[in-house]
Amino acid sequence: MKITPDMIVFAMLAGMAALSAVGVVAFRNAVRSALCLVFTFFLLGFLYFALNMEMLGITQIVVYTGAIMVLFLFVIMLLNLGASHVLEEKSDPKKVIGIGFGVSLAVLLASQIVPVLIKVNAPTAPEGFGSPQVIGNVLFTDYVFPFEAVSILLLLGIVGSVLLAKRRLS
Amino acid sequence: MATPTAAQRAAGTALDFFTTMILLLIFAIGCEVSTTAWAESGKFTQAFMDWLRSLDPTLQDVLAALGRAILAIIPVFAPVPFIIWYERRLLSWMQDRIGPNRTGNITFSRTSKLIPSFLKGKKFKLFGLAQSIADGIKLFTKEDIMPTKTDKFLFILGPLIALFVALTLGGTIPWAGDRRFTPVADINVGLLYVMAISSLGAYGLVLAGYSSNNKYSLLGALRASAQLISYELAMGVSLAAMVMVTGSLKMTEIVAAQEAPLLGFIGFLPNWNIFTPFGLVSGFIFLICMFAETNRPPFDLPEAENELVAGYHTEYSTKRWGLFMMAEYMAMFTFSMVFSTVFLGGYHMPIRWEAIGMDFMAGIERSYLGGLSVMMLKGVAGLTLYIWVRATYPRFRYDQLMNLGWKFLLPVATANLIVTATWIMISKVYGAAPGWMFAIGLYAVAIAVYLLLRSKKSRQYLDTRAVDMINQPARRAPEVVEPVAEVTA
Amino acid sequence: MGSYIGILALMGLAVVLCAVFATISWLLGPKRNTTYKNAPYECGVAPVGDARERFPIKFYLVAIIFILFDIEVVFLWAWMTVYKGGTVEFIKFTFFEFLAFMSTWVLGYAYILKVKAIEWDEPEALPSEIQEAA
């Protein structure tokens, strides 16, 4: 396998994304965790860019970083999660077990994936792959029903969120 | 010295005008010369280009990208002191004040022996331009105060995110016609990139407000985020109609689509989106949203000084406050650029020079410096509008702000989107004339329906409210002021 | 290399500039902290209670409605780039598809207007419940 500059950029981005993903669970302050998640999503958008999926990457940034994470921050501030140290336990066996499981799972996955990946040549994307034009054509012709179903789903989302937020509990 | 008469003043103004014109002409010729000079390229440039070409292609790409990035940051970053000075001067002029006009003036001594003879008694005016620089130096050397119990990391991060957003917002804007220098990255989703980056701006304000440990800050941050997301929606929908018309999300293609003759038949005028009926509606909505996205008056509720002290940056002082201000001015300028790219034909002048056979002007338009200065002029026009609106309109109430965003801009933008789609469908399937007739008819209906609704409901509501307030009995009887006995001599 | 490398370069430069400003503001200026100077500003009186108060759910509601509408637009962006240049059949077919999509948008919008989800002066309950209570 030949190492191309694209792969180096991809590896850097992926490494940073993984690091900030670790930050999401490592930080005790909920706002900082949310911020790490923002950064992860932001970098994920660039990972899509590196894979020629410009439309998907920018959608990732617009929807997740720009919209959903603002809501996350709102919820964190709404609940006022200031005193997280109350929830902490002194000697927590869960942590050790969790780390053990995580590491073994990573090793297991790596042992299966890495040998295969080394042999594979980087696939070349066809012309215009991932551009908004291609996605627009496909979404509105081949995937009509999923597309219209999504609009119903979003409508349900609006009704549901309004009910959740505005209904008075008797 | 006697005060100048009206005629003298008029003569002075005329002289200033002609001087400016001549300077502009010299600049235009300079543009042309620089383009040819670049094309022929001197010895040094040649050697440099040779050296660049000898490098690894990937490294070349990276270096070119870095160079373009620097060229994209400078036009946003360098004018900030001028923008601040311009705002202060223009605002004072509108409010019948003088504003900063002294700082930076140098008068050399007449008598000192240290001064060379040709400088003696000479006066150099900067018209107060140095004021912003002096302010900057002052801000950067003041004591940095961080209130107790702040989240220090987030407190520092807040203004930096705002600055980051302002710096990277212009990443896909073509500043000129020369594709070697600009835009930084001509990605397929350039317009969405602007939307994505501007949506990150909310984080700077929210983090600043949240980490400050101050009630005013938190309220300001809340207001800011709700305002930003509300207006972003209308902004996105209004831009969507323009994407439909131009058929691309690529910024350079959006500019290129506006080079065509106006409405397809007026040859000497370009087809700027703002001149088309759909573009006019979209542009109007985008303009309002642009004001809201940059937190400028009349949308400056997050920093309303008579309610929230200073809103999300109450606890910020010195350089960190300065960073917020810098980011705000840069974002204003960049948003003006986005507006000119999408609605005002980008780096093009409002006349199609090729159509009337003026190739000299067309050449200026295509050169890097020429295109950049046209963009800059459009940016300054946008800034002038920002300042003018600031001087004219009072601040909104929060419910007015939300009503404007959700109940006026969003439905109008959505209706515009649907009408644009219908217009395109009809004009592609049945021909151009039925399409236009349909669009105009539908617009008339939409305006009539809106006026009907408005006169029935909201107008009544607002009016009765105002009348109630006026008719309320006074709480106290008006004080009777005893006439003071006149002291007689 | 893809064209996104320019974006990365720009962002890298922006991060460097931000870092420079952060460092400058850390280096320059005197540092003489006192308790009163560092107290949060509350118009001159001693701060009362915790600043991180809870806030009304309206803000949350506005945010979630924004997300839902924003996602609806995101689904349309890709189609908009091909709509004008498509064949007559494509334009006809997708136009009615678009209308169907937008009709749910209008329905959702009418719903949030009806229940006054974005009304800033309204009490936090559905209109029907207010009537029941009255």
Which tens digit of pLDDT belongs to each residue from C78-95? 888 888 888 888 888 888
Lookup: tokens for B330: 């840069």
**Chain B contact set for A58 (CB, 8 A):** 189, 192-193, 196
Tell me the C-alpha distance between B384 and A95, whole Å. 59
3-state helix, strand, coil in chain C (%, to 5): 65, 0, 35
For residues B184 and B202, the answer to whether their CB atoms sit within 8 Å is no
The total domain count for chain B is 1
Q: Is the pLDDT of residue A107 over 90?
A: yes
Left (φ > 0), alpha (ψ -120 to 50) or beta: where does B355 sit? alpha
DSSP codes joined into one string, A28-74: SSHHHHHHHHHHHHHHHHHHHHHTT-HHHHHHIIIIIIIIIHHHHHH
Give the position of tokens 């009806």. C114
Tell me the C-alpha distance between B477 and B394, whole Å. 30
Asked if C14's CB is within 8 angstroms of B168's CB, the reply is yes
A36 and A113: one domain? yes
pLDDT of residue B272: 86
Tell me the C-alpha distance between B97 and C88, whole Å. 61
Of residues B199, B201, B214, B196, the one with CA closest to residue B155: B214
Q: Is the pLDDT of residue B198 over 70?
A: yes
Residue of C nearest to A47 (CA): C4
Q: At what angle do helices B80-94 and B368-392 cross, to 10 degrees?
A: 40
Tell me the C-alpha distance between C27 and B319, whole Å. 11
A125 and A135: one domain? no
Q: Which residue in B188, B202, B218 is closest to A70 by CB distance?
A: B202
Q: How far is CA B131 from the centre of its chain?
A: 22
The alpha carbon of residue C39 is apart from the nearest alpha carbon of chain A, in Å, by 19
Of residues A1, A80, A21, the one with CA closest to residue B218: A80
Residue of B nearest to C61 (CA): B226
CATH class of the domain defined by C4-29+32-133: mainly alpha
pLDDT of residue A103: 92
Question: Which phi and psi (to 5°) does residue B267 adopt?
Answer: -70, -40
Domain ranges for chain C:
4-29+32-133
The alpha carbon of residue A49 is apart from the nearest alpha carbon of chain B, in Å, by 10
Average pLDDT over residues B41-47: 62
For residues B240 and B416, the answer to whether their CB atoms sit within 8 Å is no
Q: Is the pLDDT of residue A108 over 90?
A: yes
Quote the longest CA-to-CA distance of chain A.
66
Question: Which phi and psi (to 5°) does residue B124 adopt?
Answer: -115, 125
- Please check whether residue B81 lies inside any domain of the structure: no
Query: Cα–Cα–Cα angle for B433, B408, B334, nearest 5°?
Result: 85
Which tens digit of pLDDT belongs to each residue from B430-480? 887 887 888 788 778 878 887 887 766 555 555 555 555 555 555 555 555
Which tens digit of pLDDT belongs to each residue from B84-137? 888 988 999 888 888 888 777 777 777 777 777 777 777 777 777 888 888 888
Centre a 10 Å sphere on the Cβ of residue A53 and count the other Cβ atoms it contains. Answer: 19
Which tens digit of pLDDT belongs to each residue from C36-69? 777 777 777 777 666 666 677 778 888 888 888 8
Tell me the C-alpha distance between A61 and A46, whole Å. 9
Q: How far is CA B28 from the centre of its chain?
A: 25
Interface of A with B in 44-103 (CB under 8 A): 45, 49, 54-55, 57-59, 61-62, 65-67, 70, 73-74, 77
Of residues B392, C75, B410, the one with CA closest to residue A144: C75
- Please check whether residue B133 lies inside any domain of the structure: no
pLDDT of residue A83: 54
- To the nearest 10°, the Cα dihedral for B430, B434, B439, B441? -140
Residue of A nearest to C105 (CA): A155
Give the position of tokens 């299966």. A112
Residue of B nearest to A32 (CA): B154
The total domain count for chain A is 2
- To the nearest 10°, the Cα dihedral for B135, B301, B313, C17? -70
Tell me the C-alpha distance between C134 and C132, whole Å. 5
β-pair partners for B261: B270
- Please check whether residue B48 lies inside any domain of the structure: no
A97 and A152: one domain? no
A137 and A60: one domain? no
Residues B170-189: b if buried by 16+ CB within 10 A, e if exposed: bbbbbbbbbeebbbbbbbbb
A119 and A164: one domain? no
Which tens digit of pLDDT belongs to each residue from A117-164? 777 776 677 777 778 888 888 888 888 888 888 889 989 988 888 888
pLDDT of residue C131: 63
pLDDT of residue B1: 46
Average pLDDT over residues A60-79: 83
Of residues C4, C10, A66, the one with CA closest to residue B196: A66
Give the position of tokens 């004001």. B291
The alpha carbon of residue A114 is apart from the nearest alpha carbon of chain B, in Å, by 27
> Across all residues in chain B, what is the average pLDDT?
80
Listed range (B310-324, B383-397, C24-38) with the worst mean pLDDT:
C24-38
Asked if B406's CB is within 8 angstroms of C118's CB, the reply is yes
pLDDT of residue C118: 77
Residue of B nearest to C38 (CA): B147
- To the nearest 10°, the Cα dihedral for B317, B295, B331, B24? -110
Residue type, B399: D
Q: Is the pLDDT of residue B238 over 80?
A: yes
Q: At what angle do helices B318-343 and C4-27 cross, to 10 degrees?
A: 160
Give the range of the structural domain holding residue A55, as residue numbers without chain letter.
5-84+93-130
What CATH number does residue A108 fall under?
1.20.120.1200
Asked if C126's CB is within 8 angstroms of A166's CB, the reply is yes
Q: Which residue in C1, C70, C113 is closest to B236 by CB distance?
A: C70
- Please check whether residue B33 lies inside any domain of the structure: no
Non-local CB neighbours of C108 within 8 Å, separated by 6+ positions: A154, A155, A158, A159, C68, C69
Average pLDDT over residues A21-45: 87
A154 and A75: one domain? no
Tell me the C-alpha distance between B409 and B292, whole Å. 12
Give the range of the structural domain holding residue B250, as residue numbers without chain letter.
142-453
Of residues B279, B281, B311, the one with CA closest to residue B297: B311
β-pair partners for B106: B124
Q: Which residue in B72, B146, B214 is closest to C41 by CB distance?
A: B214
Residue type, B155: F
Residue of A nearest to C76 (CA): A136
Lookup: tokens for B151: 């989240």
Q: Which residue in A35, A62, A131 is closest to B199 by CB distance?
A: A62
**Chain B contact set for C109 (CB, 8 A):** 410-411, 414
Which tens digit of pLDDT belongs to each residue from B157-167? 888 999 999 99
Chains touching C (at least 3 CB pairs under 8 A) are A, B
Tell me the C-alpha distance between B118 and B102, whole Å. 23
Kindly state whether A5 is in contact with chain C, defined as any CB-CB distance less than 8 angstroms. yes
